[in-house]
Amino acid sequence: MAQNVYDDPAFFAEYSKLPRQVHGLDGAPEWPAIRALLPDLAGKDVVDLGCGFGWASRWMRAQGAASVLGLDLSENMIDRARASTTDSAIEYRIADLDTLVLPAGAFDLAYSALTFHYVENFGRLVRMVRAALRPGGNLVFTIEHPIYMAATHPNWIVDSDGRMTWPVNGYFREGERTTTWFVEGVRKYHRTLDTTLNTLLDAGFRLQRVVEFVPMAEQIRQMPQLAEELERPMMLLVSASL
Amino acid sequence: MAQNVYDDPAFFAEYSKLPRQVHGLDGAPEWPAIRALLPDLAGKDVVDLGCGFGWASRWMRAQGAASVLGLDLSENMIDRARASTTDSAIEYRIADLDTLVLPAGAFDLAYSALTFHYVENFGRLVRMVRAALRPGGNLVFTIEHPIYMAATHPNWIVDSDGRMTWPVNGYFREGERTTTWFVEGVRKYHRTLDTTLNTLLDAGFRLQRVVEFVPMAEQIRQMPQLAEELERPMMLLVSASL
């Protein structure tokens, strides 16, 4: 079962202050890259896996989605998401992606932002999503990049020229990683890029796009700390279809 | 134009002593993983891009390929390759992959081992290969992993626990990398994983498999220095089809 750190009050208080929680999708620098991967949403039935406050669920509905089911492990998140809409075509529900059961052939798009790296059994989830999608359906998701996740001490170091350098070790030791993010003991699951992509291929998905998030010059101008994301791949965005 | 370091006498003398040159395919620890990506070769017309001494060209012919065209920039390599066979269905020819022109629809398989990272214009090459393949054709290639290529100083460091750690920086600065490998000034071209895979997708290829080479336990037992390849992804193997 996935860890529910989002219902830890200390974590949630800090997490809620993140730009992407306060400002929604426009607070996420990878959002333009995600948008470019999304299919036309008009008339689509969508499931949002790890919907958080529901920003993307509501945006997809506003783009014409027929229905959006937003799922999240966190009661805090789902409570906030529910309070943010009266649209009966959007449903928010508590669910653990490690044990989730979805109805077969019920969706045209499965979307997930920065959630799958909390899931222990990725293969089970991918096969479940595949069965839940209709023919021609799409899966679009983002995760922390495997290179960002791998190391025992995932913190910037400097090389002999003083250049910011990202450490990689234990790359092929897949499984649990425990990090400090607002609180200690935040549990994630590292998988190689190989495992991530081949799990999709094995489940019958076709890869449409594999994107490594890189900030645009204008984004770095507005938020100079994003410049460090030129040094390492921090997020992986994948678009796959049936 | 790609640099022809292989015809530098000092380089070639050392390069020729590598296990994979002395022992052929069995001297390359990634060979079992490559074999798993190759289609049935019976009756196929194959082009081997960067054939070196021609070990793989001859192996593919022995597996039933109808013909194999082995191409390499290096006269040293091609001379040695030609001297190693009298089979008229194998042809070895000098060619620069940055300016190569292949006949359209002439091959069933394009194969390339550890060569594409010397090519400056990957997009041009991929589109050329696509046009040279028949419908249903395959492209199987290996390259140095983008994570292995990126850093200004691509050398092992140790983390605070003494763990072997691979440095990553400049990941999104694509282009030339100059390293020392037997001789100084060996020129390679770094491309992100994003660019590598999306160039294939844009050219009309379907991704069949994206493999990060990891040594097997038995290989590490026989060659203990391979254990460091558990810490970082060193090679990328890709299988794509039309």
Query: How far is Cα A241 from Cα A207, in angstroms, rounded to an integer?
Result: 7
Q: What is the DSSP string of chain A?
A: ----GGGSHHHHHHHTTSHHHHSGGGG-TTHHHHHHHPPP-TT-EEEEET-TTSHHHHHHHHTT-SEEEEEES-HHHHHHHHHT---TTEEEEE--TTT----TT-EEEEEEES-GGG-S-HHHHHHHHHHHEEEEEEEEEEEE-HHHH--SS---EE-TTS-EEEEE--TT--EEEEEEESEEEEEEEE--HHHHHHHHHHTT-EEEEEEE----HHHHHHSGGGGGGGTS--EEEEEEE-
Q: What is the DSSP string of chain B?
A: ----GGGSHHHHHHHTTSHHHHSGGGG-TTHHHHHTTPPP-TT-EEEEET-TTSHHHHHHHHTT-SEEEEEES-HHHHHHHHHT---TTEEEEE--TTT----TT-EEEEEEES-GGG-S-HHHHHHHHHHHEEEEEEEEEEEE-HHHH--SS---EE-TT--EEEEE--TT--EEEEEEESEEEEEEEE--HHHHHHHHHHTT-EEEEEEE----HHHHHHSGGGGGGGTS--EEEEEEE-
Q: Is A88 on the interface with B (CB under 8 A)?
A: no
Inter-axis angle of helices A122-132 and A193-202, to 10 degrees?
A: 30
Cα torsion A32, A36, A42, A46 to 10°: value is -80
CB contact under 8 A, A153 and B160: yes
What integer pLDDT is reported at residue A3 of this predicted model? 82
Q: Name every chain A residue with its beta carbon within 8 A of the beta carbon of B151.
A: 159, 165
Cα dist from A69 to A58, A64, A76, B203, whole Å: 10, 14, 17, 35
Of B152, B171, B201, the CB nearest to A159: B152
Q: Is A153 on the interface with B (CB under 8 A)?
A: yes
Query: How far is Cα A228 from Cα B112, in angstroms, rounded to an integer?
Result: 34
* pLDDT band at residue B1 under the 50/70/90 scheme: low
Matching CATH number, B5-16+41-228, of 3.40.50.150, 3.30.420.40, 3.40.50.2300, 3.40.1410.10: 3.40.50.150
Spans of all domains in chain A: 5-13+33-241
Cα dist from A60 to A23, A31, A40, A97, A194, whole Å: 16, 13, 10, 21, 30
Q: Name every chain A residue with its beta carbon within 8 A of the beta carbon of B167.
A: 157, 159, 165-168
Question: pLDDT of B188-215, one tens digit each?
Answer: 999 999 999 999 999 999 999 999 999 9
CB contact under 8 A, A193 and B233: yes
How would you write the pLDDT of chain A (242 residues) with one tens digit per residue?
678 888 888 888 888 888 888 888 988 999 999 999 999 999 999 999 999 999 999 999 999 999 999 999 999 999 999 999 999 999 999 999 999 999 999 999 999 999 999 999 999 999 999 999 999 999 999 999 999 999 999 999 999 999 999 999 999 999 999 988 888 888 999 999 999 999 999 999 999 999 999 999 999 999 999 999 999 999 999 999 99
Of B166, B170, B211, the CB nearest to A169: B166
Query: How far is Cα B240 from Cα B125, in angstroms, rounded to an integer?
Result: 14
What integer pLDDT is reported at residue B183 of this predicted model? 83
Cα dist from B196 to A146, B191, B200, whole Å: 17, 6, 7
A5-13+33-241: CATH class: alpha beta
Q: Is the ipTM of this complex over 0.85?
A: yes
CB atoms within 10 A of CB B206: 14
What chain A residue is nearest to B154 in terms of C-alpha separation? A159
What integer pLDDT is reported at residue A15 of this predicted model? 84
Q: Which two tokens stand for residue A114?
A: 């920065």
Cα torsion A4, A130, A191, B113 to 10°: value is -170
Question: pLDDT of B37-76, one tens digit each?
Answer: 999 999 999 999 999 999 999 999 999 999 999 999 999 9
Percent above pLDDT 90 for chain B: 86
Of B159, B201, B208, the CB nearest to A153: B159
What integer pLDDT is reported at residue B2 of this predicted model? 75
CB contact under 8 A, A212 and B193: yes
CB atoms within 10 A of CB A80: 18
Cα dist from A206 to A138, A197, A211, B109, whole Å: 9, 10, 15, 21
CB contact under 8 A, A233 and B208: no
Predicted structure pTM score: 0.96
Q: Which two tokens stand for residue A31?
A: 């959002």
Residue with tokens 């790609």: B2
Query: How far is Cα A242 from Cα A125, in angstroms, rounded to an integer?
Result: 15
Report chain A's C-alpha Rg in angstroms.
18
What chain A residue is nearest to B160 in terms of C-alpha separation? A153
Q: Is the distance from CB of B140 to CB of B238 less than 8 angstroms?
A: yes
Q: Which two tokens stand for residue B176?
A: 């030339």
Query: How far is Cα B173 from Cα B190, in angstroms, rounded to an integer?
Result: 8
**Region of poorest pLDDT, from A100-104, A115-119, B7-11, B164-168:** B7-11
Question: pLDDT of B103-143, one tens digit each?
Answer: 999 999 999 999 999 999 999 999 999 999 999 999 999 99
Q: Which two tokens stand for residue A67?
A: 């229905």
